[in-house]
Structure 1
Amino acid sequence: MTSCARCAYARSSPALRNIAFFYGNTPDFSELEKYQFVVLEPSGQFKLPTNRGQGTHWLAYVSVGEVTSLRDYYSAMPKNWVVGRNTEWGSELIDQGAPGWPVFFAERVIAPLVQSGYRGFFFDTLDSYQLFATDEKTRLRNQRGLIAVIREVNKHFPSAKIILNRGFELLPQIHDQVYAVAFESLFKGWSEARGMYVDVPQDDRSWLLDRARIVKRNYGLPVIAIDYCAPADKQCAHDVVRRIRGDGLIPYVSDGHLLTINLAALSKD
């Protein structure tokens, strides 16, 4: 897209007011439809609503940089595309610079989701290449691969809303093909390795807020902050939502695995 195409894309897209993330197998659509946008884990045994919730945009969670054997497309991937392992999450790392990966991703990963009714995608694990890229050449190769992946998806499905989880280093090349940028753990985070909720250090928070300001100033994209509180701690969720809004960002707060629906982000305070 050119900059003018970006303007047309922005005019045809609704302004992002609120968003929820739910990765469970049994979504309560009557609750989720209270949100404007909802990101779902598409591997669950459910079908998207077809005759209700017309005001809700359903987006599919998609892991770009990592894959597990549970994904339908896993067995069709050439084995040499796997170049490492994320031991914390038990997933395999994908070489983003592998020839054929962008087309495979668009046709074998994204196309079935479009056929299922999803109107956009939340691209996760965009920085996973950093777990195995130990030199600048490999890092640049994988960054170029990720850019090619996003462009290929946009070519196949130009009306789809694409939200990135981080991917800050990619934005100079593909910001005009992105609807919004998200990141996790601004105030409260979840440690999978420790199995506990954690406070985010000030230095990490300052770095994320600097990135958010750059995204908003340079590219005019909305920025989403996803934080984590124990489901029973309602006060934590409301406090974090208020603090995220105070920094000019769009909030969502849930449990560490995004398996509960939290309506705190819809509150007006």
Structure 2
Amino acid sequence: MMKAPSAPTTGKTFQMGRLARALVCVVSAWLAMGRTALADTDPADALHSIAFFYGEHPPVDELARYDAAVIEPDHGFVPPPAIVAPSKPIWYAYVSVGEVHPSRPYFGAIPPGWLHGTNDAWQSSIVDQTSAGWPAFLVDQVVAPLWREGYRGFFLDTLDSYQLVATTDAERAAQQAGLVAVIRAIHKRFPGAYLILNRGFELLPRIHTIVDAVAFESLFRGWDQGRRSYVVVSPQDHDWLLDQARTVRQRYRLPLVSIDYCDPADTACARDTATQIRALGMIPWVADGGLQTMGTGNTAD
């Protein structure tokens, strides 16, 4: 960077210099605050709207109507630079913590001993969260490159995949401890990053202070990947999720996001489901089963 010439120490030029330095400090402080600024506010004030788009060409202008946008980064999308701070949306990158699909560019670098079973519905490998090198690998090989590209938030998915392979309380506890270590490692390296969990309810007692929101899927309407069909959520599953949501809200005061699924051609389903979610005081996003198209939610304008 080219160094500016020395400024006079008196008069308007000096005053403007002080103002400029003050503005730089304000912007720098805002960037440094990152997720902490959200965590210290009431959930109703922290996050009003969010969109999820995993397709190849994110519609930037449409997504700019939301406070946050979650993107599948492997399609090559690079967030546009913010003209002013804060700027909408905050760009979140999708990050799978509990599973790795063979299509991921870093899959081949993962030692086979770190993989522990498969999720047949998604043709992905489940990561053994007790692997000592996994937190550093995920931070260095996955999160750090996304941060350099301009993502300032991370949507952490597949946090419950360990349940497919852990069969005892001791095994589940060990996997949970590993997940906590991963999330803490991300926060330690990037304390200004925003973090949204997809479920991970059992992890919150240990990490809720570094999390900005909790999301979950299929409160009313779901997507069955195995059968590739849209489904109505059973009363039992619906009630269980509501109980988890109440705990998150009452104990941790974190914003809640419900991601539900409707056939894109069924606009009434999307509209009505979003209305139901909103009535419960949660942030809705209702879209197709693969999140390949723009859905229905709360817009920020």
Whether 1:39 and 2:99 are equivalent positions in the alignment is: no
C-alpha distance in structure 1 between counterparts of 2:188 and 2:267, whole Å: 42
CA distance in 1, matches of 2:38, 2:298: 26
Residue 230 of structure 1 deviates from its aligned partner by 0.7
CA separation in 2, counterparts of 1:194 and 1:143?
29
> Residue in 1 aligned with 2:285?
252
Match status 1:229 vs 2:262: yes
Q: Which runs of 5+ in 2 are unaligned?
A: 1-34
- Residue from 243, 247, 253 that aligns with 2:276: 243
Q: Indicate if the aligned counterparts of 2:284 and 2:296 stay in contact, CA closer than 8 A.
A: no
Offset, 1:132? 0.5
Following superposition, the deviation at residue 52 of structure 1 comes to 6.0
Runs of 4+ in 1 over 6 A off after TM superposition: none
Percent identity over paired residues = 51
Q: What is the aligned counterpart of 1:142 among 166, 175, 178?
A: 175
Cα contact 1:65–1:126 (8 A) shared by 2? yes
In the other structure, the counterpart of 1:187 is: 220
Of 46, 49, 55 in structure 2, the residue corresponding to residue 15 of structure 1 is: 46
Asked whether the 8 Å contact 1:121–1:162 carries over to 2, the reply is yes
Q: Can you give the 5+ residue segments of structure 1 that lack an aligned partner in the other structure?
A: 1-5
Match of 2:186 among 140, 153, 158: 153
1:211 corresponds to which of 213, 237, 244: 244
Which has the greater radius of gyration? 2
Counterpart AA for 1:177: I
What residue in structure 2 maps to residue 175 of structure 1? Answer: 208
Q: Which residue of 2 aligns with 1:124?
A: 157
**TM-score normalised by L of structure 1:** 0.93
Alignment of 1:96-111 (within 5 A): 96-111=129-144
What is the distance in 2 between the residues matched to 1:253 and 1:9? Answer: 24
Residue 7 of structure 1 deviates from its aligned partner by 7.1
TM-score by length of 2: 0.83
Equivalent residue letter for 1:253: V
Give the deviation of 1:91 after TM superposition: 0.3
Name the structure 1 match of 2:58. 27
- Equivalent position amino acid for 2:39 in 1: A
Separation in 2, partners of 1:42, 1:264: 21
Match of 2:166 among 133, 138, 157: 133
Find the aligned partners of 1:206 and 1:223 in 2 and give their Cα distance: 15
1:84–1:132 contact (8 Å) kept in structure 2: yes
Answer whether contact 2:50 2:297 (CA < 8 A) is retained: no
Residue correspondences, number: 263
In 2: Cα distance, 1:7 partner to 1:150 partner:
15
Alignment deviations for residues 65-85 of structure 1 (CA, whole Å, 9 cap, x no partner): 000122122121111001101
On the 8 A contact 2:221/2:260 being kept in 1, the answer is yes
SS of corresponding position for 1:210: helix
Q: Is the Cα contact below 8 Å between 1:83 and 1:132 reproduced in 2? A: yes
2:127 aligns with 94
> Residues 143 and 264 (structure 1 numbering): CA distance in 2 closer, same or farther, change over 3 Å?
closer
- Partners of 1:178 and 1:132 in 2: CA distance: 26
User: Which has the bigger relative contact order, CA under 8 A and spacing at least 6?
Assistant: 2
CA contact (8 A) 1:253 1:265 kept: no
- Tell me the equivalent position of 2:253: 220
Question: What is the SS of the residue equivalent to 2:75?
Answer: coil
Q: In 1, Cα distance between the equivalents of 2:252 and 2:182?
A: 20
- What's the Cα RMSD here? 1.9
Q: Secondary structure at the match of 1:43?
A: helix
How far did residue 10 of structure 1 move? Answer: 2.5
CA–CA distance in structure 2, aligned partners of residues 267 and 151 of structure 1: 30
